[in-house]
Amino acid sequence: MSDLSAIIVGCGDVGGRLARQLLAKGWQVSGLRRSVGQLPEGVAPIAAELSDPAIPQAWPQRSPDYLVYCVAASQHDEAGYQAAYVDGLRHVLAWLAERGQRPRRLLFVSSSSVFAQKDGEWIDETAVTEPEGYSGKVMLEAERLALASGLPASVIRLTGIYGPGREWLLSQVRQGYRVAEEPPLYGNRIHAEDAASLMAYLLQADADGVALEDCYIGVDDDPAPLADVVAWLRAYMGVSEWSEDQRVRRTGSKRCSNARVRALGWAPAYPSYKEGYAAILEGKH
């Protein structure tokens, strides 16, 4: 058993998976979300609205060893992102200060939207961040807030999360989704369970005295052209008809590397889209 503790702010899909993984290691876990009835069993509930600057009644008296900020914006516009990622984080940091709490490390879950590269190039954590859209710009602002918080902090830039309940691409393929093959539009993805295992791995590594970097990319081993993914899914699901009308072009194309976190010893359970989508389609999580 472990005597380590963590607060997961935004204990939804990925945060809930992280909570279950930490509980299995013997950690004490508190989870903050609006509706605490959906928290995994064994997680101490903290019901709160991140938009409310007042400290939640259920905020623990004892300082957590780790704080994970893992929220999802409920409103997908610039104001919604600002409220969820910047203002919410600012409130949580203020709650820590109000209680005189100082976690060993803050993990801030960010997004690969901070990268604007679009020519299929390989990128790692040292790549230039010049986001063009509001989502990447707000995420970058929130990352800077986390790294300047005065706490030891690491940012995890997750790529496209998929998993049970996150099946947009599967439904599109069933409907005859078609995507341009040339130039190849590379996509980056990580299974929700692997996103959680990456966070759990970093937390445990820090607890074990491993010196962490301030940034990690969360991605599987196989950034692949979207056309290849769609073709594989079509064959796997037996979809034999598709419509020219559904031919979709996406902007943005890059290949994200997980070499930095793999060098620490982490490896994804679903190394590519094939293992991950096969597990979903076979009803495994």
Mean pLDDT by 10 residues, the chain (285 residues): 90 97 98 95 97 95 97 90 96 97 98 90 94 92 97 97 90 85 89 98 98 98 93 92 64 89 98 96 77
Domains and CATH numbers, the chain: 5-162+190-219+254-269 (3.40.50.720)
Compute the distance between CA of residue 189 and CA of residue 178 in angstroms, rounded to an integer: 19
Rounded to whole angstroms, the Cα distance separating 182 from 200 reads: 38
Question: Residues 176-213: pLDDT tens digits?
Answer: 888 878 788 899 999 999 999 999 999 999 999 999 99
- Residue 246's pLDDT is 53
pTM confidence score: 0.94
Alpha-carbon gap, residue 159 to 156, rounded angstroms:
10
**Residue 272 identity (one-letter amino acid):** S
Cα separations in angstroms, 121 against 52, 118, 130, 131, 189: 41, 7, 15, 16, 16
90 and 138 Cβ atoms separated by less than 8 Å: no
Rg (CA), the chain: 19
Partners of residue 95 on adjacent β-strands: none
pLDDT at site 168: 87
E strand map for the chain: 5-9, 28-33, 44-47, 66-69, 105-111, 121-123, 153-158, 160-162, 178-179, 186-187, 189-191, 215-218, 224-225, 247-248, 254-256
Q: Give the pairing type, strands 186-187 and 224-225.
A: antiparallel
What is the reported pLDDT for 255? 95
Number of H helices, E strands in the chain: 9, 15
What is residue 240's predicted lDDT score, i.e. its pLDDT?
85
Give φ, ψ of 36 to 5 degrees: -75, -10
Tell me the average pLDDT of the chain.
Answer: 93
